[in-house]
Structure 1
């Protein structure tokens, strides 16, 4: 019998399967290319620490650590958070599509009423610390009634109903993201795009594409994310002059997504170029404007700068941007929580552990359910609780307990 593959050989096999270079994978886990070569070749004898294995697992889309180590079976979902308590009911609502046979069950409402309910649901998401729990109470009925509105209408009203359904699916993706249900993310993203195309509404289409780009990038398919993004922007550009402020904001949001994807791929020049272009679009928006679907606004650009620097593993730049943006007044609680997690990641690059803990505590205060389901936050909290400075461990363990980690 041949000897079992080493950790390094397993990493190399999984990396090649993903079509990823050593340079890209090393950048995603914050290590040098020489370190990655040493691990894969076996020149470095010691196994990577748990925190690094978890970063590798995320980058390589691994479900269980045993795929990397050959032993110690630990589901990676432990570090992405448990499934939300209401996930099953939301899944049922996503799957329950009205059929043409028989009389569909649900509430047939004017589209203006559905529009008001959807807008109220977005406001609930942004203002609630427990935003997933709050959305779970609204989504099943909203999905059912939006699907029914499309089913029972024709002509212009059907197109308007499809635009509402596409945006309802976008809100649903906000709920199912970071849950142990990747199939739902793709189902919702695909249905949103179909409904948006049926609507013929450039705003609905841009919204659906924005969510689809997220799904492709989070799966590691940067080529598809960029291609879809660019195709959508080419289709939207002719409508910008008469599209209003919301479509202009979507143009800015999609411009930044090109930069985000480039940062994930390690292309610093392209990432910062698109961030700068998005900033010029944001400057054309009203000062108090904040888009509910994408958070695009003037105020979000400083937060986006932190994300770009962190994804590029630029330690000094990420710390500088975090200093500029740590208290930026983002009106959405979950988006503010996510931004503070990015600030914590910036401090983590500089190994400033007290600052990491402080940023995570602020994120927990802003949006506990954002922290609970964020893999980066959970890994940093676990690392601090297990191996951080002794004077920080009590606070770190309290935080780990709050977000459902067993230390």
Structure 2
């Protein structure tokens, strides 16, 4: 199956794994609390299965990972920005034993904290511009240089490098979840969280809690992610009128991630509460900002209201709110993610042309993000399968660019 699922829809993957497990449609449907007719339509692409809470339930009953149903790991193309060392080099940097045994670390050039900050800033700028290939090319060397700097420096410089390394692990978590490397994302998130605790910086620690939550979501552990966010105030405290703008930003963003986790866990009450907490933070911040690369503010809260509505199956609400949100104040990654979400809502109401237009617009802005995201890939595949008329050239060429044709 590995290597073949890139050209299968989620429904077709369910069919393959169901037959591999020796289950009939009736049995699997009963296990997930649905009808046999519903599952038949899902497997034959007559119903587009896009709620992660339902997909997770199916994966659990099939005893497979959520990622097995969503998509294969993405192949990162070589290019002028990536060079010829991408995900395998990043995996090696994350898993090498030399990071755990100081005596095993080879000597290398020691860079100043200021120089390392410039490189960390470049990585985060690339993430928010959806330049994922570029990130996989430069993250391995940056991680290795930062690990060495943490080992060599003392005092304030050491703590500063710990902070930078934690943020670099967070950026690694972000790009790894985007390209489907779920297990590596979990490792990067845990490494970053541990460093943030060592550095004893509440703002960075709060930001890394969000990163751990993202990793849990990518692994399909939605309820665990909800519990993490729900219990976080006991660790970091609550929002105060005197809180710094940076803390307000990471605090609000953390609750937005929690809202997505709650929606994917099909928990309407917790989703509403987490969105409320994020809204309070946005009101305190008063405007969209990008402190610590969080892109937090009223616009991001509005975007998440649309995304959580879709996760909870409230398509009318998503279609009411989504087209009215202007994501332009936010970085490219957030803008494109919102377009994909609204496209999903349009597709759910059989407005395929509107949905296709949004994906094509998004591709113009961030081709890598659209190519790697399971949502855009599955939408395009499903449209291809459903097409019974003349060949749609726009759709066909898009499918080729996404490598799902």
Contact 2:167 2:204 in 1 (8 A): yes
Structure 1 unaligned spans of 5+: 16-21, 23-35, 69-74
Alignment-derived partner of residue 195 in structure 1: 195
Alignment-derived partner of residue 385 in structure 1: 384
Give, in angstroms, the shift of residue 156 of structure 1: 3.8
Q: Which moved more, 1:349-358 or 1:233-242?
A: 233-242
Distance change in 2, residues 1:333/1:46 (3 Å): closer
Alignment-derived partner of residue 8 in structure 1: 26
Contact 2:327 2:334 in 1 (8 A): no
Give, in angstroms, the shift of residue 299 of structure 1: 2.3
Alignment-derived partner of residue 82 in structure 1: 74
- Helix, strand or coil at the partner of 1:175: helix
Give, in angstroms, the shift of residue 338 of structure 1: 1.2
Aligned counterpart for 1:114 among listed residues 116, 134, 137:
116
Instruction: Provide the aligned length of Structure 1 versus Structure 2.
Output: 370
Deviation string 1:229-269 (CA, Å, 9 cap, x unpaired) is 12323322268566521111111112222322221122334
Distance change in 2, residues 1:147/1:60 (3 Å): farther
Query: Is 1:328 aligned with 2:322?
Result: no
Deviation string 1:315-355 (CA, Å, 9 cap, x unpaired) is 21111011212x42143222211111111111122221111
Alignment-derived partner of residue 263 in structure 2: 263
Give, in angstroms, the shift of residue 87 of structure 1: 1.1
- Helix, strand or coil at the partner of 2:106: coil
Query: Is 1:359 aligned with 2:358?
Result: yes
Distance change in 2, residues 1:9/1:125 (3 Å): same
Q: Where do 1:5-404 residues align within 5 Å?
A: 5-10=23-28, 22=33, 36=34, 38-39=35-36, 46=40, 48-51=42-45, 58-60=55-57, 62=59, 76=69, 79-80=71-72, 82-85=74-77, 86-96=86-96, 97-98=98-99, 99-101=101-103, 104-127=106-129, 129=130, 131-237=131-237, 243-285=243-285, 287-325=287-325, 327-388=326-387, 390=389, 393-404=392-403
Paired with 1:44 and 1:284, the residues of 2 have a C-alpha distance of 45
- Helix, strand or coil at the partner of 2:231: helix
Paired with 1:89 and 1:355, the residues of 2 have a C-alpha distance of 40
Structure 2 unaligned spans of 5+: 1-20, 78-85
Distance change in 2, residues 1:387/1:230 (3 Å): same
Give, in angstroms, the shift of residue 182 of structure 1: 2.3
Alignment-derived partner of residue 27 in structure 1: none
Distance change in 2, residues 1:61/1:195 (3 Å): farther
Give, in angstroms, the shift of residue 381 of structure 1: 0.6
Deviation string 1:167-213 (CA, Å, 9 cap, x unpaired) is 11001112211434322111111111111111111011111110111
Q: Which moved more, 1:205-214 or 1:118-127?
A: 118-127
Contact 2:371 2:402 in 1 (8 A): yes
Report the aligned-residue RMSD: 3.1
Contact 2:176 2:185 in 1 (8 A): yes
Give, in angstroms, the shift of residue 58 of structure 1: 4.4
TM-score, structure 2 length as denominator?
0.81
